[in-house]
Chains A and B, each alone.
Chain A
Amino acid sequence: MAITTSPLAQPRFWQFKSLRAAAFGLIVSFAAPALADNLPEVQRLIKQGQYAQALEKVDAWLASRPKDAQGRFLKGVIYTEMNKPTEAIGMFTRLSEDYPELPEPYNNLAVLYAQQQQYDKARTALEMAIRTHPSYAVAYENLGDVYAKLASQAYDKALQLDGSNAGTQNKLSLIRDLISTSGKVNAKPAADAATTTATATPPVKVADARPTPVAPTANIVSTTPGAAAPETSVAPTTPPVKPVEPKPEPAPAVSNAANEAISRAIDAWADAWQKKNMKGYLAAYAPDFRPPNGASRKDWEADRTKRISGKSGKISVVIEDLQITVDGDSATAKFRQHYKAGSLNTSATKTMTLVRAGSRWLIKEENAR
C-alpha cells in the first residue's frame, strides 16, 4: 500500500481500454462476428487468473492476425501476470515500435521497468507515452511516481541514505491490482468504437475513442502546485505538448445526489483514518470488501488497526482531485491521497469501487499505488 511504502508502491497497470475499443471497431468492420468474442474471453480468463488458457486463446487469435495490436497487448498483459517480465517487455517493446502512437504499451513497459527498478527506462517510456498523448492521465500519474522514485534514488546517493527496498513487495499487489481494476475500467461501451475510423493500421486517433480524460488528473504534473509549469514541464528542445481538450462529462441529475453521498463517505473515511477511529474506518468498507493482496478480511483488519491506531503521532489524510463515476448502485472514485504520519509523507492515486448500501456508500475495492 502506498501509505506504508514508497510512493511508487503500485503503479497502475493500465488495461487497453481505448485500443480495445478501437480493435472492436476493426472487428466490427472486418472480422467475422464469431471471432469478436475471442478477446473478451481472453480478458475473462486473465481476470480469473487462468493465464495459461488466456495465453492459448490469445495465441490462437494472433495466429491469424499476428500484427493485431489488441491481441499482442493482451499477450503482454498475460506475460506480466505470469511474472515473465522479459517476455512482457519484449511484447510491449515491439508493440510500441510498431505502433509508436499508442501510449498504453509505453505505460505498461514503464510499469515493468519500474518493477525491475529500472526507473530511468520507466521514465523514458512514460515520457514517450505522454509525448504521444499529452493528456494521458495514467502515464502522468505513473510518471509522477517514477520521478519520486528517481528523486529518492538521487537523494540516496546525495545523502548516502539506505535506499528503500519497496519495489519487490509491491509486485504482487500490482498484479492483483490489474485484475481487479481491469474489468471495471475497461467497461467501455462498444458504441464508441464505431467512431473510430477503420484503417489498415491501428488508429492513430485512438485517444479520441477512449473515455473522456479527467481534466485535473490529466494534467496532474502541470497543475500540482509547485510542479513544473507547462512551459517548463517539456524540454525546450521538444515542442510544447497541448493537453487534449477534455470533453465535458455529461452529468446526469440522478448521480448528483449519489456523487455527494460518495464524496461524504470518502471524507468520513479519511476523517476516521486521521482520527484513528478504527470503528468508523472499518465501517466504511463493505462486508464483501476485497482486501488487497488476497489477504483475508480478518488479517487485513488487523493490519489496518496496527497501522492506524497503532501509529504514534498525528496522521493526516488529505483527499484531492476527487473524481466520481456512478453506475447505478456501483461507483468508482478516484482521487489523490496525501498521507502524512511522522516521517512518512506520501502522495498516491487511489481508486475505489463503492457500492450502495441503503443510503450509504461502502468501499468494495481499494487500489492504491
Chain B
Amino acid sequence: MKVDRRLFPIIGLLLCLAATPHLYRRLQPETQPVDTAVSAAPMPENSPALPAEPPPILSDAGPEAQLVGIFNAIEANRLNQALELTENLLRQYPNYRLANLIKGDLLLARTRPIAAFGALANAPADKVADLRAEAIVRLKAYRERPEDRFIPRYLLQMQPDQRFAVVVDMQRSRLYLYANDRDNGGRPRFVADYYVTQGKLGADKYAEGDKKTPIGVYHVTANLPRQKLADLYGNGAFPINYPNEWDRQRGRRGSGIWLHGTPSNTFARPPRASDGCVVLTNQDLDAVAKNLQVGLTPVIISPSVEWLSLDDWARERDELNAAIDAWRHDWESRDTERYLKHYSPRFKSGSQDFAAFAAQKRQVMAAKEWIKVATDNLSVFRNPGPDEVVVVTFDQDYRSNNLNNRMKKRQYWQRENGQWQIIYEGSA
C-alpha cells in the first residue's frame, strides 16, 4: 500500500528544529550517554535503533513527555497511536490548543493529504505559528533538561532562608526552579522546570508599555490570590520588583511585571503573548507558588541561561565572596582610600556620585576610632546579560565608636578591568 508521507516531513522538520544543537549536549562530556529523554527522541540520522525507553519520572507533570510521545508516534508513522495519545492528553487538558491542533491534523490526515502542521485550510497563520513555537520550545526543553552537574551562573549564593530560587530563560520559554540545598553548602539543586510565556516583543524591557519582559535579578513582592484577580491572571499572581534599583538607575521604566497563571479558556498561552509578565499554566503556577516566599524568593530573568559546572560555579562564588570580604575588611581598617578602591568611578547611589560619596566617606571616617562590619544572610546573584554585574544583598551590622546601625543593604558590583567594584549601593 502506498503511504503518502507528506505529513511526516513537516513534523519531521519541526523535530529537526527542536533537535538543533543544544546547550546540555554541548556541555556534556563525550563519554557520558545522553539522558534517556534524549535517546528516546526521534533523531533518525543518528539514533534510529535506540529503544524507546519510558521517559524518566519528572518532577513536573507538564505535557512535554506526552507531546514527545505523540511526535515520536507520528515520526514512526503510528498515526493511530499518536491520535490516541493526543486524545489522552486532551482528556487531561481539554482546552490545550496545541493538542487540539495536533488532533485536528491527525484526524484530517485520515481524510486527505496533510501539507503542514496546522493543515486546516485558511488556518490563521499567526495562531498556527504560535502553537508551532510552543511545540518546539516544549520538545526542546524536554530533551534538554538541566543536569545536576550544571548550575545557572546567576545563583552564586542564596541566603539561608531563601528556600528556592526561580530562573527564567526567555529564549527557551522556560522557568527553572532551584532549591537552596543547605545540606550541601547552599548549592542550588534543580527541582523542576516549566514552560512560560513572555512578553509579545521578547526580553529586555526598557519602557512602559513596550510589551517586553525585563532582564535582571528580582524577587517576588506579593502573593495575589485568584479571588482578587481578573480571569486573565488565572490561579494567582506574584508581582516582582521591576524596576529594581539598577533598572531605575539605567532609566528603565514600566511596572506591573508579574508571574501569573493562565486564563480559563486555554491551558497554555503562546511563547510570546504577554505584555511583559511571565505566565505559567495554572497547574504549574500552583506548583511553583508553593515554593515562593514573598519578599524573599529571587526571580532571575535571563535572555538565555548561562550554565556553570560545579567547579566554575564554586570559583566564581569564592571570588565574589573574597571581594565582598575584602571590601568589609578595608572598611573596618578605616583606610578610606583602600576602602574607596572598592567603588567604581561610575558609582552612583541616588543623586550621589562617586566624588560626593568619597568626600562624605573621608569626612566620616576621620571621626572613627574603630569600625566593625558584619554581613549576614548574604546572597549573591549574577545579573544576566553581557555586563558582568552581580547583586549582593545582606544584613549589615555596622558598629563603630560613635554609631551603630543595622540595615539590609543591596549593592551592585561590576567587574571592570578584572576588578570587582561597587557601582551602586543602597538600602534594600
| Interface membership of A228, Cβ < 8 A | yes
A152–B128 Cα gap in the complex (Å)?
A: 14
In the complex with contacts A157-B100, A225-B4, A232-B78, A148-B122 CB distance below 8 A: no
Per the bound structure, the CA–CA distance linking A343 and B124 in Å amounts to 12
CA distance A158 to B108 in the complex (A): 14
| Mask: chain A, 158-185; 1 = CB below 8 Å from B; 0 = not | 1111000000000000000000000000
Within 8 A of B (CB), among A101-159: 143-145, 147-148, 150-155, 157-159
User: What separation, in Å, do the CA atoms of A41 and B84 have in the docked complex?
Assistant: 46
- B101-131 to A contact mask, C-beta < 8 Å, 1/0: 1011101111111100010111110011001
CA distance A232 to B77 in the complex (A): 7
Q: Which of B70-85 contact A (CB under 8 A)?
A: 77-81, 84
Q: Digit string of B1-12 for contact with A (CB within 8 Å is 1, else 0)?
A: 111101100000
- Determine if A157 and B97 form an interchain contact, defined as CB atoms under 8 angstroms apart: yes
Binds B, one of A79-87, A233-241, A351-359: A233-241
Which residues of B are found within 8 Å of A225, using beta-carbon distances? 2, 4, 113
A213 adjacent to chain B (CB < 8 Å): no
Q: In the complex the two chains form, what is the Cα distance from A321 to B98 in whole Å? A: 35
B120: contacting residue among A7, A155, A347, CB under 8 A:
A155
Cβ of A227 to closest chain B Cβ, rounded Å? 6
Residues of B within 8 A of A152 (CB): 104, 120
Q: Is the CB of B1 within 8 A of A159?
A: no
Contact with B along A234-255 (1 / 0, CB 8 A): 1110000000000000000000
Of chain B, the residue at the smallest CB distance from A159 is B127
Asked if A362 lies at the interface with its beta carbon under 8 angstroms from chain B, I say no
Interchain CA distance A228-B105 in the complex, whole Å: 12
- Among A217-231, those with CB < 8 Å from B are 221-230
B-side contacts of A154, CB under 8 Å: 100-101, 103-104, 107
Query: Is the CB–CB distance between A151 and B107 below 8 Å?
Result: yes
Contact B104 A226 (CB under 8 A): no
- How far apart sit A227 and B7, CA to CA, in the bound complex (Å)? 9
Please measure, in the bound complex, the distance between the C-alpha atom of A87 and the C-alpha atom of B131, giving whole angstroms. 43
Tell whether B352 is near chain A: CB-to-CB under 8 Å. Answer: no
Q: Are B120 and A227 in contact (CB under 8 A)?
A: no
Q: Is the CB of B111 within 8 A of A144?
A: yes
Check A227 against B111 for contact (C-beta < 8 Å): yes
Chain B residues in 8 Å Cβ range of A345: 121
For the complex, give the distance between the alpha carbons of A143 and B107 in Å: 10
Q: Which residues from chain A contact B84 at a C-beta distance below 8 Å?
A: 235
Partner of B97, one of A7, A153, A158: A158
Chain B residues contacting A226 (CB-CB under 8 Å) are: 4, 6-7, 109, 112-114
**B-side interface size class:** 35 or more
- Number of A residues near B (Cβ < 8 Å) is 36
Chain A contact residues: helix, strand, loop or mixed: helix
Complex CA distance for A84 and B2, rounded to whole angstroms: 43
User: B404 at the A/B interface (Cβ < 8 Å)?
Assistant: no
Decide: B123 and A159 in contact? CB cutoff 8 A. yes
Closest B residue, CB atoms, query A340:
B121
| Chain B minimum-CB-distance residue to A141 | B111
Structural contact, A155 and B110, CB atoms closer than 8 A: no
Of all chain B residues, which has the CB nearest A222?
B1
Q: Does any Cβ of A come within 8 Å of B95's Cβ?
A: yes
Give the CA-CA distance A235 to B87 in the complex, in Å: 13
Query: Which residues on the B side are within 8 Å of A153 (C-beta)?
Result: 104
> A230 contacts B1, CB within 8 Å?
yes
Report the minimum CB–CB distance from B90 to chain A (whole Å): 8
Which residues in A have their C-beta under 8 angstroms from that of B101? Answer: 154-155, 158-159
Candidates B79, B97, B108, B122; contact of A151 at CB < 8 Å: B108
CA distance A151 to B80 in the complex (A): 14
A154 to B4, CA, bound (A): 23
Q: Which residues of B contact A160 (CB under 8 A)?
A: 97, 127
Distance to closest chain B CB from A346 (angstroms): 9
How many A-B pairs fall under 8 Å by CB? Answer: 109
Query: Across the interface, which residues of A come within 8 angstroms of B104, CB to CB?
Result: 151-155, 158
Alpha-carbon separation in the docked complex, A148 to B111 (Å): 7
B80, A234: Cβ atoms under 8 Å? Answer: yes
Q: Which A-chain residue is minimally distant from B126 (CB atoms)?
A: A159
With A154-B101, A155-B100, A155-B120 already in contact, the answer to whether A227 and B80 are too (CB < 8 A) is: no
Instruction: Give A120's nearest chain B residue, CB to CB.
Output: B87
Cβ 8 A contact of A147, one of B3, B6, B107, B114? B107
Contact in complex: B103, A147 (CB < 8 Å): no
| Inter-chain contacts of A161 with B (CB < 8 A) | 124
A335 to chain B, nearest CB (A): 15
Question: Shortest CB–CB separation between residue B69 and chain A, in angstroms?
Answer: 13
- For residue B59, give the distance in angstroms from its CB to the closest CB of chain A: 28
Q: Which of A148, A157, A347 contacts B107 (CB 8 A)?
A: A148
Note all chain B residues with C-beta closer than 8 A to A150.
103, 107
From residue B124, how far is it (CB to closest CB) to chain A in Å? 6
Q: Chain A contacts of B77 at CB under 8 A?
A: 229, 232
Instruction: Give the complex CA separation of A27 and B279 in angstroms.
Output: 70
Residues of A within 8 A of B107 (CB): 147-148, 150-151, 154
Contact indicator B78/A227 (Cβ below 8 Å): no
Instruction: Give min CB distance, B3 to chain A, whole Å.
Output: 4
Indicate whether A236 sits within 8 Å of B78 (C-beta atoms), given known contacts A155-B101, A230-B1. Answer: yes
- Partner of A158 from B3, B7, B98, B112 at Cβ < 8 Å: B98
Among B7, B111, B128, which residue has its beta carbon within 8 angstroms of that of A224? B111
Interface centre among B108, B114, B127 (most CB of A within 10 A): B108
Chain B: minimal CB distance from A252 (Å) = 31
Q: Which residues of B contact A347 (CB under 8 A)?
A: 111-112
Q: A155-B120, A158-B131, A226-B4 known; A232 and B111 CB under 8 Å? A: no
Q: Which residue of B lies closest to A154 (CB)?
A: B104
Task: Give which listed residue, A148, A159, A235, A344, contacts B80 with CB less than 8 A.
Answer: A235
A151 contacts B4, CB within 8 Å? no
A227 x B4 contact (CB < 8 A): yes
Q: Which residue of B lies closest to A230 (CB)?
A: B1
Q: Which residue of A lies closest to B123 (CB)?
A: A159
Q: What's the minimum C-beta distance from B68 to chain A, rounded to whole angstroms?
A: 18
Q: How far is the CB of B123 from chain A (nearest CB, A)?
A: 6
Q: Is the CB of B122 within 8 A of A227?
A: no
Are B111 and A147 in touch, CB under 8 angstroms? yes
Which among B95, B122, B131 has the greatest number of chain A C-beta atoms within 10 A? B122
Q: A155-B100, A221-B110, A222-B1 are in contact. List 6 more A-B contacts (CB 8 A).
A: A148-B107, A151-B105, A153-B104, A159-B118, A229-B1, A229-B3
Would you give 29 A-B contacts (Cβ < 8 Å), ordered by A?
Answer: A7-B111, A147-B107, A147-B108, A148-B107, A151-B111, A152-B104, A154-B101, A154-B103, A155-B101, A157-B95, A157-B97, A157-B100, A158-B97, A158-B103, A158-B127, A159-B123, A159-B127, A159-B128, A221-B111, A226-B4, A226-B113, A227-B4, A227-B109, A228-B110, A229-B1, A230-B1, A235-B80, A345-B121, A347-B111
4 closest A-B pairs by CB = A226-B113, A158-B101, A154-B104, A151-B107
B residues adjacent to A (C-beta < 8 A):
1-4, 6-7, 77-81, 84, 95, 97-101, 103-105, 107-114, 118, 120-124, 127-128, 131
Chain A residues within CB distance 8 Å of chain B: 7, 143-145, 147-148, 150-155, 157-161, 221-230, 232-236, 343-345, 347
